[in-house]
Each structure stands twice: as structure tokens, then as C-alpha cells.
Amino acid sequence: MSVGSVPADLATLYVGVLLLVGAAMGSFLNVVIYRAPLGKSLLYPPSSCPRCGVRIRARDNIPILGWLLLGGRCRACRRPISLRYPAVELVAALVWAAEGWRLAGLDRGFWPDVLTGLAELAFLSALIVTFLVDWDHLIILDEISLGGLAGSLATAALVPALHQADSPAAFESSHPLMTAWLSGAPAWGRALAASLAGALTGLTLSLSIYFLGNIAFRRQIEAARREDPEVDSALGLGDVKLMAFFGAFLGWRAVPFIFLAASLFGAFAGSAMKMLSGQTGGQKGWAGLANRWRTGGSVIPFGPFLAAGAIIAFFWDWRIF
Ligand SMILES: [Zn+2]
């Protein structure tokens, strides 16, 4: 039996396993998101309540369920535990399950599924961490961007299926120019070249936007600096490194799409933030809205929107184009 083109028994296995493992991974990602920007160890000490410091018991630490059974409160001090912890666990579970569904649909065989799957699950987890760390701290960790870039290049060479370099026909349709240049190259060489081309596309496009943005938005950047003295450019250098990583993992064609999607999300979120944080100045109607727009804050991180664009680019079926 199959669901569409997805074999049902394989899909049940992959989705079921990854839903559970994803929830547990979400629990670990919570630790990473909280501790990594502070330079704290990810493994020690075990989690404790951020308010009273009492260590969280193993049975209360069960992803999602632990929080629900406690009614969202610490067992020791009864003060609320942020909804964000179970939310991250749920998102991780759903994203991992979605990857299970995708892998079952590709059905490339057990070992290719396991190898590409592990790399892709690591990538998706890095996106979740990037989203929330940049949201909280306005930074993108080099461990994620540069570490991800190095990891993507290495993984491309080790698992050529990631860039479809194991199948000449699929590779030719996604990399027409490169196929001509690299005729006769081994699969790992073609995959590494595809990954490098993606990294260079991400680097070149984001550096162009970095320099052009600084010229085009000089007045807005000065205004933003009065709000937050650390703002010095329309796009941060962290975003540039992040785009090299995304290009290296997803391939060059994903890069323009990610920028387009992130700019749209960012424009919506930035406008919403201006309207929510601005003051009406006592005016009603349109005049009040105009005052809100004028006085509202506009410093928002771009990394979360790049990560959101990357997750869509990942699950999008590029063969549509
Ligand atoms: Zn407590």
C-alpha cells in the first residue's frame, strides 16, 4: 500500500520514529539555544528550573508531556515554565517527522536514506537553533554558520546523494553548466563542486546585498543605531556566513529563493513590530497609526527569516521549476 508516491509502511516507520526522536532532540535544542550563546557547557550540569534552581527530575523532563503534566509549572517552586520549551520540542518533532515523510517518498534505499537523513536532520536542527538564538540575542553563532559550512562541504564529499551527484541525470538537470565541466569526475567530486558553488553563491549574493544595503539604507541604519548602538549595517556579517552555509548545504539555486522569502517575512515582521511598539501620541485613526509607524522600533534580526526561508527551500520540490 502506498500514500501517493510514498510507501506506507516505510512512511509509518520513518515518521513514527522521527516524531519521537525529534521531540527528544527538541529538548536538547532547548539546552543549546539557552546555553550556547552564553558559552556554557551543553552537557553539564543537568537542567534545572531557571527560577528556583532545583534540578528537573527525569520524569518531568519527558518532552512536551512533562510540561503538560506539570501544568506548565515547576514542581518545586510552582512558578510558570515558559511555553517555549514544549513549543520547541513540538516544532522539532514535527520538522523531523516531515523529514521522515520526505525520505520515505524518495525511497532511495536504507543506507542512502540513513546517511542523507542524518545530515539533513542535523541541518534542520541547526535552523531551529539559528532562528531562536538570533531572535533572542541578535547573533548568529560561528559554530553554526562556519561549522555548518565546513560540515556541509565534508558531507557533500562523503554523501554525494545530498547533491544528487550519485545520479547523473538528476545532477545534470540541477547543475547543467557544471555537468559539462565535470564530465568524468567521480560522484564525490561533483557533489563537492556543487556544494562549493552553493557556498560561493551564498557568499557573493549576501556580500553584494551587504554593501548595496549599506549605501541604499544609510539613513535607516543611522536611525536604527540610535535605537541599538550595535547596529552597523542592513545585513550583518553573521548573515553572510550563514548564507554561505545554506548555499553549501542546499545548492546554489536555493540562495536567491531564501533571500526573497526572508525579505518578505522580514518586511512583514518589521512592519508588525513598528506598529506594536510605536506610540499613537494620543491620536486616533490614521494619524495615530502614522505616529505608531514613525515612533516604532525597527531593529529585528534577519537570521530567523533566512532560517525560515531555508526550511521552505529544503522541503520545496525544486523539480517544479
Ligand atoms: Zn522552580
**Is residue 302 pLDDT above 60, yes or no?**
yes
**Is residue 291 pLDDT above 50, yes or no?**
yes
Distance 85 CA to ligand 1 centre (A): 14
Please give the full DSSP string across 283-298, using - where no structure is assigned: --HHHHHHHHHHHS--
Distance 35 CA to ligand 1 centre (A): 18
Q: What is the pLDDT of residue 175?
A: 81
> Each residue of 6-38: pLDDT tens digit?
778 888 999 999 999 999 999 999 999 999 999
Distance 60 CA to ligand 1 centre (A): 12
Write out the residues surrounding ion ligand 1, Cβ under 5 A.
Answer: 49, 51-52, 74, 76-77
Mean pLDDT of 104-112: 83
Distance 50 CA to ligand 1 centre (A): 7
**Is residue 41 pLDDT above 80, yes or no?**
yes
Domain ranges of the chain: 1-137, 141-321
Residue 311: partners with Cβ closer than 8 Å, 6 or more residues away: 95, 124, 127
Query: Cα–Cα distance between 30 and 280 in angstroms, integer?
Result: 37
Query: Cα–Cα distance between 156 and 153 in angstroms, integer?
Result: 5
Q: Which of 46-55, 132-141, 175-184, 296-305 has the lowest mean pLDDT?
A: 175-184
265-274 contacts, C-beta under 8 A, 24 or more apart = 265/305, 265/308, 265/309, 266/300, 266/302, 266/305, 269/300, 269/305, 270/298, 270/300, 273/297, 273/298, 273/300, 274/298
Q: What is the pLDDT of residue 14?
A: 92
- Of 243, 239, 223, 242, nearest to 231 by C-alpha is 223
**Lookup: cell for 158:** 562523503
Query: Cα–Cα distance between 212 and 196 in angstroms, integer?
Result: 24
Beta carbons within 10 angstroms of residue 234's beta carbon? 20
Distance 52 CA to ligand 1 centre (A): 4
Q: What is the pLDDT of residue 5?
A: 67
**What is the 8-class DSSP label of residue 43?**
S
Distance 59 CA to ligand 1 centre (A): 15
> Each residue of 142-192: pLDDT tens digit?
999 999 999 999 999 999 888 888 888 888 877 877 877 887 788 899 999
> Each residue of 55-87: pLDDT tens digit?
999 889 899 999 999 999 999 999 999 999 999
Residue 157: partners with Cβ closer than 8 Å, 6 or more residues away: 188, 189, 191, 192, 195
Q: What is the pLDDT of residue 320?
A: 44
Q: What is the pLDDT of residue 168?
A: 80
Confidence class for position 122, pLDDT limits 50, 70, 90: very high
Distance 46 CA to ligand 1 centre (A): 14
Q: Which of 38-47, 81-90, 303-312 has the lowest mean pLDDT?
A: 38-47
Beta carbons within 10 angstroms of residue 267's beta carbon? 11
Distance 76 CA to ligand 1 centre (A): 5
Distance 78 CA to ligand 1 centre (A): 6
> Each residue of 194-250: pLDDT tens digit?
999 999 999 999 999 888 888 877 877 787 777 777 776 768 889 999 999 999 999
Q: What is the pLDDT of residue 321?
A: 42
Contact 252, 198 (CB under 8 A): yes
Q: What is the pLDDT of residue 3?
A: 61
Distances from the Cα of 275 to the Cαs of 226, 289, 309, in angstroms? Answer: 19, 7, 24
> Each residue of 252-274: pLDDT tens digit?
999 999 999 999 998 888 888 88
